[in-house]
Structure 1
């Protein structure tokens, strides 16, 4: 099992005692089909919903683990509509995020009402209010492309500028902050290598975190990674990166052991020194996400996230290749998913013409 899955499975196991018994039963059932990372996100959605139920007085429970199946059966459609409004107004979730959170709840309620049974072979949940909802699958390529427009790096020039900003130009914004300047000078080569590698290959953040130093062949410009959704999740697949990615990695590898002293057993490619520690450890997914967001805000692209770096690469790559090559590079199971980048390239070309 790769590092991210192992970490998320451990975290998932630690969180389950906080929930009602039937949630643990649902998670155990779903582990055969869904990754621990996905199920961990589901539990966060369940936690938000259960806390909302308690706050709204929709059950007598004082903690999540006390919420009963009877409490769920008493919910009505108006309650669910109110919760969706809560997500929109109080939590300010986007429509895509709201639909995803509701979809995870629908999955739980469907399991309890259609799959799980009690000792008498009756469904655990006798009444499923979620069955009345129609969740919208926002997969339309044009719609998704329109939402990403302006939130990714639009072309090769902007990709180059963002990498250069991390590598050297960011210093102008933090020169009067000694602490920020210290950490920037310490980590800028590593941070540049991470961002450049994603923009040079289209890797997912989980794939980057899982990389061991032996997974990189800088001579052939190949990385061996665990692919999300692979039919053989325990087998690494090869993915190419560009010359720019190679140059950034070479610079990082030259200083990796000097700046990030580590135990001889530590094989992770990208390292970070935890606060208060003397030895470096594998950099976490959360740390990479926060790092990219920090640079993106300073660069003037506050909506740019680590996953949108992947979108940025894919848009640039698709302009130079066909949809099938793009599909293989990104590891998509179907070209339906890759169709998004056909729409994004239209937006990119339109923006380039407007600049001219």
Structure 2
């Protein structure tokens, strides 16, 4: 199991006892199909919703675990409308339309399970009335809209190579008067350039990069073996190719990985950090990689660039040379609907991509 999945599974187990028994039953039902990360989001959404019910007097339960099925059956449509308004208008922590949509979708999944799938000992549905069946949840992000937001905010053509080159050399020249920043750059430039190059030449997600182990890399065949998002077979790693351009950065980093980061032989992680004062290196975190890319992006003159936009940059560049189906497989998307974004980001049309696929 990946590092992130192990952490999320542990957090999931910590949260579940504070929720009603029927939520725990629903999570068990979904466990084979959804990742621990997705289920953890569900659980947090349910905690928030049940807290709202108690706060508004829609349940007499003293704590979330005591919320009953009858409490849910008695909810009126006005209650759900009120909850939606609360999510969008409360003074602190106002949610975006996307977050509100996700929270309502999580509720609808739970209510559907309780009313259509789960049964009591007499074979009757656990929930006799499903108010969430009346709630229409509009799709927020269409591929065309997502593409419009990304326009001008990703790396294109020569910029992919330029950004990696900047991490290797240009940044060092820009900060040479700052001794601390310059020293840190000299220590980490091969590693940092390697991470950026790998994403820009494979399209890996940051979580997939974090979870990479040394033995997941087949440098000669330009292959990585990764736990892909949404694949719950914890014994299987998906082979993902990277382009030739990443080989030099990988080789340069591997040459310094052990000595420079005081990496113990027991440490399997591919990407290592050596915290200040530490005697030996350890696996980099997702947050560290995200902050590292932002640091270089600002100096590079692309302050909007993030680690996830590096993935978008690769995907757009890759799609220009391949069809939508190959791009979907390379990125590990569940459906081509997600991959449509890159059709809108380029001059190609969906019909052109599909026609070429049929011609192969």
TM-score in same-fold range (> 0.5): yes
Deviates more, 1:163-172 or 1:17-26: 163-172
**1:213 offset after TM fit, Å?**
0.7
Partner SS, residue 266 of structure 1: coil
Aligned Cα RMSD in Å? 3.1
Q: Deviation of residue 314 (structure 1)? A: 0.5
1:304-328 residue CA offsets vs partner (Å, 9 max, x unmatched): 4433321111001111223233233
Contact in 1 for aligned 2:5/2:35 (Cα 8 Å): yes
Structure-2 change in CA distance of 1:18 and 1:303 (3 Å): farther
Q: Deviations over 1:207-249 (max 9, x none)?
A: 2222111221223322122333459653333222123322222
8 Å contact 1:138–1:144 — kept in the other structure? Answer: no
Question: Are 1:281 and 2:275 matched, yes or no?
Answer: no
Equivalent residues of 1:167, 1:189 under 8 A apart: yes
CA gap 1:58/1:329 in 2 versus in 1, 3 angstroms: same
- The residue that corresponds to 1:141 in the other structure is 143
Q: Do the aligned partners of residues 174 and 100 (structure 1) sit closer, same or farther apart at CA in structure 2, a change above 3 Å counting? A: farther
Structure 1 match to 2:225 = 224
Instruction: Report if the CA contact (8 A) 1:167-1:192 is conserved.
Output: yes
Q: Which residue matches 2:112?
A: 110
> Matched residues in 2 for 1:176 and 1:86: separation?
50
Q: Secondary structure at the match of 2:196?
A: helix
Report the CA distance shift for 1:167/1:14 in structure 2 as closer, same or farther (over 3 A): farther
Per-residue Cα deviation, 1:157-176 (whole angstroms, up to 9, x for no partner): 33334434444444577678
Alpha carbons 1:271, 1:283 under 8 Å: kept: yes
CA distance in 2, matches of 1:23, 1:277: 43
Distance in 2 (alpha carbons) for counterparts of 1:214 and 1:4? 18
Report if the CA contact (8 A) 2:32-2:232 is conserved.
no
When structure 1 is superposed on structure 2, of 226-235 and 248-257 the one drifting more is 226-235
In the alignment, the residues of structure 2 paired with residue 14 and residue 32 of structure 1 have an alpha-carbon distance, to the nearest angstrom, of 19
CA distance in 1, matches of 2:305, 2:77: 36
Alpha-carbon distance in structure 1 between the residues aligned to 2:279 and 2:107: 43
How many angstroms apart in 1 are the aligned matches of 2:55 and 2:178? 42
* Structure 1 segment 282-321 matched on structure 2, within 5 A: 282-296=283-297, 299=300, 301=302, 303-321=304-322
Q: Where do 1:149-188 residues align within 5 Å?
A: 149-150=151-152, 152-170=153-171, 183-188=184-189
- Deviations for 1:118-168, whole angstroms, at most 9, x for unmatched residues? 344333333322111111234632233223324x41412333344344444
Give structure 1 stretches of 5+ with no counterpart.
348-356
Q: Which residue of 1 aligns with 2:214?
A: 213
1:1-356 equivalences under 5 Å are 1-89=1-89, 90-138=92-140, 140-150=142-152, 152-170=153-171, 183-230=184-231, 234-273=235-274, 277-296=278-297, 299=300, 301=302, 303-346=304-347
- Provide the rounded CA distance (Å) in 1 between the counterparts of 2:291 and 2:86: 26
Q: Deviations over 1:181-210 (max 9, x none)?
A: 665554443232222211110112232222
Of the structure 1 ranges 12-21 and 45-54, higher mean CA displacement relative to structure 2 is found in 45-54
How many Å separate the matches in 2 of 1:85 and 1:301? 36
Separation (CA, whole Å) in 1 of partners of 2:276 and 2:166: 26
- Assess, with a 3 A threshold, how the Cα gap between structure 1 residues 14 and 177 changes in structure 2: closer, same or farther: farther
**Alignment check: 8 A CA contact 1:2 1:234 kept:** no
Unaligned runs of 5+ in 2: 349-360
Equivalents in 2 of 1:275, 1:108: separation in Å? 46
After superposition, the Cα gap between the structure-2 partners of 1:322 and 1:255, relative to the gap in structure 1 and judged at 3 Å, is: same
The alpha-carbon distance between structure 1 residues 288 and 14, as it changes in their structure 2 partners (threshold 3 A), is: farther
Alpha-carbon distance change, 126 to 311 in structure 1, aligned in 2, over 3 angstroms: same
Number of residue pairs aligned between Structure 1 and Structure 2: 346
Q: Report the equivalent of 2:355.
A: none
Q: Provide the rounded CA distance (Å) in 2 between the counterparts of 1:58 and 1:171.
A: 59
TM-score normalised over the length of structure 2 = 0.82
**Equivalents in 2 of 1:324, 1:266: separation in Å?**
36
